[in-house]
Amino acid sequence: MKLKNSIPLFFLILIAIIAMFYVPGPTIGLTEEINAGDTAWMLAASALVLLMTPGLAYFYGGMVHKKNIISTMLQSTICMAIVSIIWVVFGFSLAFGESIGGIFGNPFTFFMLKGVMNASHGTIPKVLFAFFQLKFAIITPALITGAFAERIKFTSYVLFICLFSIFIYAPLAHMTWHPDGLLYKSGVLDFAGGTVVHMSAGLSALASAIYLKSRNNSSHVETPANVPFVILGTGLLWFGWFGFNAGSALGANELASTAFATTNTASASAALAWIFFDSFKGKKPSALGTCIGAVVGLVAITPAAGYVSIPHSIVIGVVASLISNIMVDFGKNKSLDDTLDVFPCHGIGGMVGMLLTGIFASKDVNPSIEHQGLFFGEVHLFTTHVVSLAILSVFIFGISMLLLRITDWITPLRVTVGEQREGLDLSQHGESYV
């Protein structure tokens, strides 16, 4: 047994030992603050968001070469295990603990979820809020995997997603959603994670594709291995996204209903826009294009879901779909090998959604917002979003590059040419789809 292969097990055992001596606080006295309907909805929403990660596994797995289906799907699935443990130990605290400079939370505020079991968050138990947010933290690094599919070592990937969750995701969540966070205090609106989830994943994917460089030419595949997998994954993502966006209202209320409706409408309009635009370019309307367009619409509406009207969600879906479609074509004409077009779809989709939130956000939809969008004659919100987008893009891309270099220094990121030709299913996991 190699010593370096034992290190992750030793860490897990150490965490288990620390957890053994933890004594949770009482939960008595919470019933007066908790709303049963809100709690029931948030339990369901949390489960829906978790379902999105297996959905993503099918979505990505169906697009790669047959010899890489298992490895690609496992890269999503393993996030459910790894990020869950990080979140319980100190990840939730980094994201939502006592603010340190408005950038990240104190890792000891909720260490091992201390104080979470005997507290409420609005009308739901705080532990439920913590685990609802966990599902967002799980799927974000999983989204990145499409950029370096078919060429990354599994052990190196595991280390990278640990670093990403700690140094990129948690600070972004804190800055955006904590009341003392820098972005929150500056007035940035991100209802369900356009910045925190999709921009972070998309820009980190871009950095990964640049750093890992192109796959070996012999491994490139133009035809997806399993289009039905992609369709199944799209259905699961669309279904789960209702929990993602409507759940971000944190209650069974009118705002959740609005977010539910805008989510469905934006995805539908984006799916149609994608295949209509493909037809305009002389291509046949494909199942793959329909699925990709639907997901782009879901991405773009995420930051805006609880701030814009249903008609404006159609505009968001169409605009995001057309821009992402153009960016996918643009990327294919470059040497950049973003395997499954994560940056054009999630990165660009998240950016478009952020900017359009700054245009269409309305107090008629959500009276809690201080400034309305540009469409309603106010400039402040849109300007804030433009400046924040520029700063965040540099931050996410730069830190991602640094984390990739650190990971590569500790353990090489890329598989060998021989392992790549053999396929990652066999070379990394000793398993085969066929």
Residue 22 has pLDDT above 80, yes or no: no
Task: Measure the CA–CA gap between 208 and 336, rounded to whole angstroms.
Answer: 10
Q: Which of 79-93, 218-232, 242-256, 344-358 has the lowest mean pLDDT?
A: 218-232
- Element (H or E) spanning 69, and its range? helix 69-86
Per-residue pLDDT reduced to its tens digit, 313-370: 999 999 999 999 999 988 776 778 888 899 999 999 999 999 999 999 999 999 999 9
Residue found under tokens 């609880």: 306
User: How many whole angstroms separate alpha carbon 272 and alpha carbon 294?
Assistant: 8
pLDDT at residue number 1: 47
**What mean pLDDT comes out for the span 278-307?**
96
pLDDT tens track for 78-109? 999 999 999 999 999 999 999 999 999 999 99
Q: Is 158 exposed, middle or buried (0-12, 13-18, 19+ CB in 10 A)?
A: middle
As a whole number, the mean pLDDT across the chain is 92
Local structure of residue 29 (DSSP, 8 states): T
Q: Report the pLDDT averaged over residues 385-404.
A: 97
Here the tokens at position 172 are: 């972004």
159-187 b/e (C-beta count within 10 Å ≥ 16 → b): bbbbbbbbbbbbbbbbbbbbeebbbbeeb
Q: Within 13 Å, how many C-alpha atoms sit on residue 80's CB side?
A: 15
User: What are the residue ranges of helices labelled H in 281-309?
Assistant: 287-301
Whether residue 29 is predicted with pLDDT greater than 80 in this model: the reply is no
* Whether pLDDT at 124 is above 80: yes
Report the SS3 class of residue 104: strand
Token pair of 283, please?
Answer: 């291509």
The pLDDT of residue 213:
87
Share above pLDDT 90 across residues of the chain, in percent, rounded to a whole number: 84
Beta bridge partners of 40: none
Tokens, residue 417 = 């040419």
Crossing angle for the helix pair 380-410 and 348-360, nearest 10 degrees? 160
* Spatial distance between the Cα atoms of 42 and 371, rounded to a whole number of angstroms: 28
Beta bridge partners of 120: 125
pLDDT at 13: 84
- Write out the two tokens for 392: 């965040």
Residue 5's pLDDT band (cuts 50, 70, 90): low
pLDDT in tens, 56-74: 999 999 999 999 999 999 9
- What's the CATH superfamily of 39-413? Ammonium transporter AmtB like domains (1.10.3430.10)
Q: What is the pTM of this model?
A: 0.94
Identify which of 203, 205, 82 has the alpha carbon closest to the alpha carbon of residue 154: 82
β-bridge pairing 124-125 and 120-121 = antiparallel
The answer to whether residues 259 and 316 touch, using CB atoms and an 8 Å cutoff, is no
How do the residues of the chain divide into helix, strand and coil, expressed in percent and rounded to 5?
Answer: 70, 0, 30
Per domain, the residue ranges of the chain are 39-413
Integer Cα distance of 433 and 15 in angstroms:
34
- CA 107 – CA 111 distance, rounded (Å): 6
Q: Is the pLDDT of residue 26 over 80?
A: no
DSSP string computed for 360-390: H--TTT-TT-SS--GGGT--HHHHHHHHHHH
% of the chain surpassing 70 pLDDT: 94
158-212 tens-digit pLDDT: 999 999 999 999 999 999 999 999 999 999 999 999 999 999 999 999 999 999 9
- Of 205, 212, 163, 209, whose CA–CA distance to 393 is shortest? 205
